[in-house]
Amino acid sequence: MSTNELNMTALCADIHQKIIDKCDYYTIDNHIQQLCSLYIDKWKGFTNSDKTTEYLIPDYIGDTSLVFSTLYEHYGCEEALKEINECLLEEPDAQSDVNEYLQFIENLNIARNMTENDFKDENYEDSKLYVALTNTILYIQKKNEEMRGLSDTMKQLSFTLKKLETMITPVAIAVPVLETMITPVAIAVPVLESTTDNNDSE
């Protein structure tokens, strides 16, 4: 078993346990992003159209079933679907995104149950399974790119905030210095007033 396969198997087991333990939804999302990256890196472009890679089909079916079942367990769970429905009630304009998500769940359920016979079928590329599998992978790639973009944005924001903090610090340090410069002026005022009083008395 390759390192990639070990990582996928271990990640799926870890995600499954986190789901059971009701861990933070977004923590699980981050693990799933890693899992999807491993799966796509390994199987991107695999079709077996020329029959030269037929020996890989059992591994492909095994990985696909494992990964997609894990995704379905997370994204197709009752809690996630309830959240989607609540989102739609609060934001009716999100109907298109919700439909896309629900189609993704349906495609996941179809693709995770694929068999070797399905894959070897002469009409496979015209089948409902092929469409479901293709659209599922496209959806995963799209969401992974969005997550990477969000991650890059957050990193840039963090860098900008740190840079801003270093720019603000000297100003904060300068305040006490400015106060010490102002203090003698404040002390000098009563002295000046007393001098004026003496002049008036004369």
For the chain, domain boundaries? 3-161
Q: Which of 106-110, 142-146, 167-171, 190-194 is most confident?
A: 106-110
> Rounded to whole angstroms, how far apart are CA atoms 147 and 162?
23
**Pairwise pLDDT comparison (72 vs 177), residue with the higher score:** 72
pLDDT of residue 68: 94
**What average pLDDT score do residues 182-201 get?**
44
- Terminal CA-CA length for the chain: 106
CA dist 116 → 54, 62, 106, 107, 121 (Å): 10, 10, 20, 18, 9
181 pLDDT tier (thresholds 50, 70, 90): very low
Name the residue among 19, 23, 141, 131 with its Cα closest to residue 70: 19
Q: Which amino acid is present at 7?
A: N
> In this predicted model, what pLDDT tens digit does every residue of 96-140 receive, in sequence order?
888 999 999 999 999 999 888 887 777 877 888 889 988 998 888
> In this predicted model, what pLDDT tens digit does every residue of 148-169 receive, in sequence order?
655 555 445 445 454 445 544 4
Give the single-character DSSP code of 123: T
> In this predicted model, what pLDDT tens digit does every residue of 19-71 receive, in sequence order?
999 888 888 988 998 998 899 888 887 766 666 678 888 898 999 999 999 99
pLDDT of residue 72: 94
**Pairwise pLDDT comparison (140 vs 175), residue with the higher score:** 140
Of 4-13, 19-28, 84-93, 157-166, give the lowest mean pLDDT range. Answer: 157-166
pLDDT of residue 1: 57
Q: Look at phi and psi of residue 89 and say left if phi exceeds 0, alpha if psi is from -120 to 50, else beta.
A: alpha
CB neighbour burial string for 19-42, b if at least 16 within 10 angstroms, e if fewer: beeeeeeeebeebbbebbebbeeb
Neighbours of 201 (CB within 10 A): 5
> Rounded to whole angstroms, how far apart are CA atoms 101 and 97?
6
